[in-house]
Amino acid sequence: MSSQGQKVAVITGASQGIGAGLVDAYRKLGYGVVATSRSIGAANDPEIVTVQGDIADADTAERVISAALERFGRVDTVVNNAGVFLAKPFTDYTDEDYALATGVNLSGFFQLTRRALPHLLATGAGHIVTITTALVDQPNSNVPSVLASLTKGGLNSATKSLAIEYASRGVRVNAVAPGVIKTPMHPVEAHETLAGLHPVGRMGETSDIVDAVVYLESAPFVTGEILHVDGGQNAGH
């Protein structure tokens, strides 16, 4: 069980990049953390519980919420960070690409959030944050991304819908829409090209997204917000 008053965050895609940064940030806020990804290992911090598994599988979501309740007795925040991004011309996508994108991006969100919501309601002040992409609102012909728009665009809409559904019941629902962030998924040799996709002329840092999520966590009057942290992409090109 959590110590009296300690809040608990569940974070997906938590083994590296933005997810790992979010785990550190929530621990600094004093939260207990349940961190999950396919490859995550055991944590040295006793206030971090790790759960290995594919977030597209309902079984993983079940095990994550069970782990949170067993160790801490509550869930206060869910950060749906796990996601896949496949940039291909539309006719080059395969059935396997479709299954992967919809599985991780949509099923992962649905299975975990649905199971967490009763526990968020029980706290009286729950919070859901989902990481989407700025390309939903400002597509770029240099980055063909229909599967991202199909799935992450759906998550933006779901964010607003859930925010309204639960606004009077103490649960806030927000999203962060990043530009291209320096994470292990982007090779260093591609950084210069990727920097050029942003009006500010650089890629984002993991800390830019982590700071945005922390802001939303501490903003009780903000719900239904799609917060663009994208170097100006949403403003245009």
pLDDT tens for 166-176 read 999 999 999 99
201: left (phi over 0), alpha (psi -120 to 50) or beta: left
pLDDT one-digit tens code per residue, 92-144: 999 999 999 999 999 999 999 999 999 999 999 999 999 999 999 988 888 89
Q: What value does the mean pLDDT of the chain take?
A: 95
Give the lowest-confidence range in 2-6, 11-15, 31-35, 51-55: 2-6
Q: pLDDT grade, residue 4 (50/70/90)? A: low
CATH number given to 8-227? 3.40.50.720
Rounded to 5 degrees, φ, ψ at 74 are -165, 165
User: H-type helices in 8-103, by residue range?
Assistant: 17-28, 58-71, 95-101
Does residue 106 contact residue 162 with C-beta atoms inside 8 Å?
A: no
The span from the CA of 87 to the CA of 210, in Å, is 24
Of 122, 124, 17, nearest in space to 79 by CA: 17
